[in-house]
Amino acid sequence: MVKQVSAVSTAAIEIRRAVESDCDRLVVILRATYLATMAAIVPAAALAAFHQGGGPEEFVERCWPDFEVLTTADTVVALLFTQGQRVESLHVHPDSAGRGYGTRLLAFAELTIAAVSRRAELDVLVGNSRARTFYRARGWFDVSHFSGLELGETPVAMVLMAKELGAVAGQVSSLE
């Protein structure tokens, strides 16, 4: 009897600072995550603005030097953008979801933020139950609900989430 072995990826996973040559892939990731997750929960006006405007392109053009990316097999599969004590964006391409990449990037964000603050914060759409469940499972909690803007102009219900980082700051981690 011949035993079949499933294919297992042995590709190295790396978290590194984004470089300009990553920009096209970053736009692909932002578009894919928006359409896979957000399109079903944002108001129609926000979805129309997404399709008509250059939201992902403008965001990447403006902010890519501050992104961290997660790569596997030399392909960028996820991105992270933090500012001060805030996680501004964390996106994993839908084709790479469920492999622990988001967890790795979030842990990286928490370590980065712990260097400047004992508390991390982020905003998430109220209707994004998958993201809220993801964060809650990793120790984040709801702080408050508020009306925010999606794609710059469309009001949406948001949740401010936070995590106390006191215990994270002293940990040594090998995330890469």
Specify the CATH number for 13-169; select among 2.60.260.20, 3.40.50.720, 1.20.1630.10, 3.40.630.30: 3.40.630.30
Write down the pTM of the prediction.
0.84
DSSP letter (8 states) at residue 41: T
Other beta carbons within 10 Å of 69: 22
Which residues, listed in sequence order, are joined to residue 82 by a DSSP beta bridge?
87
Instruction: Give residue limits of the domains in the chain.
Output: 13-169
What is the predicted pLDDT for the residue at 2?
A: 45
Per-residue pLDDT of the chain (176 residues; tens, 9 = 90+): 444 433 444 579 999 999 999 999 999 999 899 888 877 777 677 777 776 766 788 889 999 999 999 999 899 999 999 999 999 999 999 999 999 999 999 999 999 999 999 999 999 989 999 999 999 999 999 999 998 877 667 788 889 999 999 854 444 344 44
Planar angle of CA 34, 37, 43, nearest 5 degrees: 75
d(CA 59, CA 150): 13
